[in-house]
Structure 1
Amino acid sequence: MAPSLLYPKISTPTPSIIHSEGNYLTTSDGRRIFDASGGAAVACLGHNDPRVKEAILAQLDQTAYVYSPFFTVPAAEEIASFLTESTDGKMERVFVVSSGTEAIEAALKMARQYFTELREPQWQRTRFIARKQSYHGNTLGSLGTGGHKVRRAIYEPILAQNVSHISPCYPYRDMKEGESEDDYVARLADELEAEFLRVGPDTVCAFVAETMSGTTLGCVPAVPGYFKAMKEVCDRHGALLILDEVMSGMGRTGTLHAWEQEGVVPDLQTVAKGLGAGYAPIGALLVGSRVVDALSNGTGGFIHSQTYQGHPVACATAVAVQKIIREEILLENVRVQGQYLGELLTERLAGHPHVGDIRGRGLFWALEFVKDKAIKRPFPAEEGIAQKVHRTGLEKEHCISVIPGAGVADGVNGDIVQIAPAYNISREEIELIVTRVEGVINDVFGAQ
């Protein structure tokens, strides 16, 4: 019988997983694949945790679904309280959705509504400034905000025209020879300032950025002082700062919120992947006091809703996941094992002629591949290097899953793979990951 499922490549079925346990995925043809990517940096507790399954069943016994504009449930209140308390109250309210993309859509709408709640002429603010080689989701609003050329390409005619893009914080390729980090930060802040002035400072709702970049740039930590400088520009022009932590948040970089390491507090923040660890679809928009106050003193509500927002089962799942992370002190493990992962990747692969850069923080690392290391020349897009590394990793000789990313160098060319294992990973499992990744790279490129 012909397949009915629409695969990413229609004629190429993806491997069928018949069981998952801990860090391993078992395929229908008998392979045991080590999940070093957590899916898409999602499965932060590994797979098949009985405590999370118990919480899901308990919630199903209570309430499976209510419509959030009409009703609330204890699990929704509990996860919202956990999130606001985790920021020491700096983010005052939480809007729970079903994905990171939905959280970004809500953030864009919230930013626009914030300015409609203020007196004229603030109502004319309709624009957003984001970054090149960024990714904020695949719906039309979120895709239009992101700056990834290939993902946007065929949809450009139907994307909104109210977003402009500036350079990312990408020191490996963009810092000039002899330029200090302070000078680099100043240059990027000047670029943001110039973009505000170009489009009209009083037309911009917000600057949108991933606190630590995801797959379209490859786990690039911000240069020290970068986000402080960018927020100063936003504050000077009265615009909001939206930080996208869909991939980097909820512990992935070693603190529950990635912005805790940057010395800034956003006005709006999105989270998703590590919130529910893949056991249920969930994301959230965290709303800062400045925005909450404007809504409270204005219309008194958020003009936006979705059918599955605040889903009881998803909320109960997130509560269970976050309790496990806290009780098992897993953020400390993220920091310790993440440092070891970075050290081991550097020791084993930094000398490879086609590994141009190794970067990351916490359990969020990437390898950038280059054709010519001396001049950082990327492989051309048509060679599909990242996908080749990913596919080779899934073969029975290696049995490891990593996340491929392309277009990092200029939006079209440039390849990375990400490593984003579970927060409860052990030192021995870190060593296994690096050994298998090294084997894959040597298989694809030849041993160094």
Structure 2
Amino acid sequence: MSGPNLNGTSTRARIEKTAQMHIEPASDEMVDVVDSKAVMHRTLLEQPLRVVGSEGLYLHLENGQKFLDATGGPAVACLGHNNPIVKKAIMDQLDKVAYVGTVFYSTSAAEELCSLLVRGTNGAMSRAFICNSGSEAAEAAMKMARQYFVELEGPATKRHRFISRKQSYHGTTLGALALGGHVMRRKIYEPMLSPGISRVSPCYAYRGKTEGESDEAYVTRLAEELDAEFERVGPESVCAFVAEPVVGAALGCVPSVPGYFAAMRRVCDKHGALLIADEVMSGMGRTGYLHAWQSPLVNTAPDLQMIGKGLSGGYQPVAALLVSPKVVNVLTKGTGAFSHGQTYQAHAIGCAAAAAVQKIIMEPNMMEHVRKMGAALEKGLRERLADKWYIGDIRGAGLFRGIEFVMRKDDKTPFEISRQVASGVHKLGMQEPYLISLYPGIGTVEGLAGDFVLLAPPYTVTLGDIATIVEKAAHTINTYFEREFPSGE
């Protein structure tokens, strides 16, 4: 029953009146009072460029400039900007329902997305947990791994630890940050981070392999290091080993060498631990395969997999945890539930957007196209940059390419941190006449020094687009070093 309020009007009457109200659009005067400085931007010292439009590879700025978005943000916009198919899917879902509480309800959008994701793994995964960011996916993976062992071995299980890798990045929330090894992002939060995580060396051939060492010998050495770490912390205490098939923001598109993941899988199996693949940045087609672990270089399915950026292409904030039948079966026979949940998980509009993106990515020949365009991008970058004294390494897979800068080519000496080389290259690219985004990073050497930029254009690029990207990127990089280091080394 609707009761009267203090003014004598029933609640129901007020609701009906509100529903019938005609809302006038904001006037120009109202818009003018917007304070752009009210936003807590990533830096408080300068205002970021304001984007007012977008199309395909390009972002249109308020000042009239047209930027070539060669990175899709941090490898997010995998289909470019303003895709009409994805926009329509979002609007169609809005006409049905925007949000439901997943404790009580499901939607066809969520079910369609999860079906697409599971089908794309060819049986390696059987369930998908949809969340909103890569950090959330990492948190869910850690909790899922712990719960798996609680249900498999009982509440008294000792398994609570994780082993990850140095110079890794798995997210920005406290659990995910603790899991990663990104020194600078962890630094001020160290006292708050879980001590139950240890790290081994990454698979980083450019700096990790010794002179004359074969891939096979390198993999054997890394496997022995991981095995020794299990023994050091107590194998019965470890839930999982976590690694990125292609390292993104922490090392700049570093791919695993052949046989690495298979060897890590064997070590995990030996000690009864799970293998978790972080494909938040490198997954969903970015490397030229729907999942990076499906590539010939990796060819090893994980037990749990985190995906994110390329999942919805930036059209909605969507990420996911993919769960193997091995893990699902243990939970099904146990409590029958995942002891974890979030208000906005499996959000209907996000799922609709992601499903539309995935349908395009899964179209015949799309992955072949990504591999072809990726090879052209690598070839162009090598032709324009490889012989320069300041280029240490050009690497990556598919449309995920990194360029590492060095002060000396022969011994791979990095630039001093204070020079902020990668940041300088990026800032120059943001200026006329370059107008190209080059994603900067630092930390390839001990997590502190070592500069790089990465490129991650959309999967829909053409050979003409690749030529433009190579020209603008090379022009920006070469000009930066000519200006900053006029006498060379």
Which category of TM-score, normalised to the shorter sequence, fits these structures? over 0.9
**Match of 2:438?**
402
Partners of 1:300 and 1:325 in 2: CA distance: 33
Partners of 1:253 and 1:287 in 2: CA distance: 21
Q: 1:229 aligns with which of 253, 257, 263?
A: 263
Report the Cα offset of residue 396 of structure 1: 1.5
Structure 1 SS opposite 2:372: helix
**Match of 2:3?**
none
Q: 1:238 aligns with which of 269, 272, 277?
A: 272
Q: 1:345 aligns with which of 377, 381, 390?
A: 381
TM-score of the superposed pair, with normalisation by structure 2: 0.90
Pick closer, same or farther for the CA change 1:359–1:2 going to 2, 3 Å. Answer: closer
Partners of 1:52 and 1:298 in 2: CA distance: 39
**Match of 1:133?**
167
Matched, 1:50 2:84: yes
Amino acid at match of 1:314: G
**Match of 1:197?**
231
**Match of 2:121?**
87
Report the Cα offset of residue 28 of structure 1: 1.1
Matched, 1:411 2:447: yes
Structure 1 SS opposite 2:241: strand
Partners of 2:360 and 2:62 in 1: CA distance: 30
**Match of 2:394?**
358
Q: What RMSD over aligned residues (CA atoms) do the two structures have, in Å? A: 1.2
Matched, 1:304 2:340: yes
Partners of 1:87 and 1:2 in 2: CA distance: 44
**Match of 1:332?**
368
Structure 2 SS opposite 1:124: coil
**Match of 1:429?**
465
Partners of 2:364 and 2:132 in 1: CA distance: 26
**Match of 2:200?**
166
Report the Cα offset of residue 70 of structure 1: 1.2
Deviating runs (4+, > 6 A) in structure 1?
none
Partners of 2:117 and 2:477 in 1: CA distance: 39
1:97-145 deviation line (CA, Å, top 9, x unaligned) = 0111111100000000000001348711000000000000000000000
Structure 2 SS opposite 1:414: strand
**Match of 1:252?**
286
Report the Cα offset of residue 329 of structure 1: 3.2
Matched, 1:30 2:64: yes
Q: How does 1:111-126 map to 2 (within 5 A)?
A: 111-120=145-154, 123-126=157-160
Which consecutive unaligned segments of at least 5 residues does structure 1 have? none
Q: 1:291 aligns with which of 309, 327, 331?
A: 327
**Match of 1:381?**
417
Matched, 1:182 2:216: yes
Report the Cα offset of residue 327 of structure 1: 3.0
Which consecutive unaligned segments of at least 5 residues does structure 2 have? 1-34
Structure 2 SS opposite 1:401: coil
Structure 2 SS opposite 1:128: strand
| Of 113-122 and 247-256, the range deviating more from structure 2 | 113-122
- Cα pair 1:145 1:163 within 8 Å, conserved: yes
Partners of 1:245 and 1:415 in 2: CA distance: 22
Partners of 1:191 and 1:301 in 2: CA distance: 35
Partners of 1:70 and 1:89 in 2: CA distance: 28
Structure 1 SS opposite 2:373: helix
Q: 1:5 aligns with which of 39, 45, 62?
A: 39
Structure 2 SS opposite 1:62: coil
Q: 1:68 aligns with which of 81, 102, 126?
A: 102
Q: 1:370 aligns with which of 401, 406, 410?
A: 406
- Cα pair 1:36 1:419 within 8 Å, conserved: yes
Partners of 1:11 and 1:409 in 2: CA distance: 28
**Match of 2:5?**
none
Larger Rg: 2
**Match of 1:218?**
252
- Cα pair 1:381 1:407 within 8 Å, conserved: no
- Cα pair 1:122 1:202 within 8 Å, conserved: no
Matched, 1:206 2:240: yes
Matched, 1:319 2:347: no
Q: What fraction of aligned residue pairs are identical, expressed as a percent? A: 53
Paired residue total: 448
